[in-house]
Amino acid sequence: MLVISDAGFPVPPGVPRIDLAVTPGVPPFLCVVEAVASELEAEGLIIATELVASDTSLPADIQACFPHVRLESMSHEQFKSLSARAPWCARANAYPTLTSSSSAASPINLWGPSTIN
């Protein structure tokens, strides 16, 4: 399982962070997803339900990067718990516009063979 997140995502303790931040907004979240998609054959995608509720284009853009993979969603709290099992988290330097009830907008989990049982 791999986690790709925005800069505001609270990386769980003990999960190594690959911080891709160069300057504000660089690299954009979707660019990181696209780069990973070009190198990874994912078996599944999970995004936070808060992202689905707050952003109409990003979930579709993420799905377009992995057209043959099922996209699932779960609450941000469930997502954070699941992310604690990741071998690493890559953080893009993006701070999406959030609703006041959402604490993170664009993290996704990707998984491939033998990564989620």
What's the total number of domains in the chain?
1
**Domain interval for residue 48:** 8-66+106-112
One-letter amino acid for residue 94 of the chain: A
Peptide bond before 13: cis, by omega within 30 degrees of 0? no
Whether 83 maps to a domain, the answer reads no
Average pLDDT of span 20-31: 83
Q: How many CB atoms lie within 10 A of CB 48?
A: 27
One-letter amino acid for residue 50 of the chain: E
Neighbouring residues of 41: CB distance < 8 A, sequence distance ≥ 6 = 112
Measured distance CA(18)–CA(21) in Å, rounded: 9
Measured distance CA(16)–CA(12) in Å, rounded: 9
Measured distance CA(8)–CA(94) in Å, rounded: 8
Q: How far lies 113's CA from each of 6, 30, 41, in Å?
A: 25, 23, 9
Average pLDDT of span 42-56: 83
**Model confidence pLDDT, tens digit, residues 70-101:** 888 899 899 889 999 999 898 887 654 332 23
Q: What is the CATH number of the domain that holds 16?
A: 3.40.1650.10
pTM of the model: 0.77
Whether 76 maps to a domain, the answer reads no
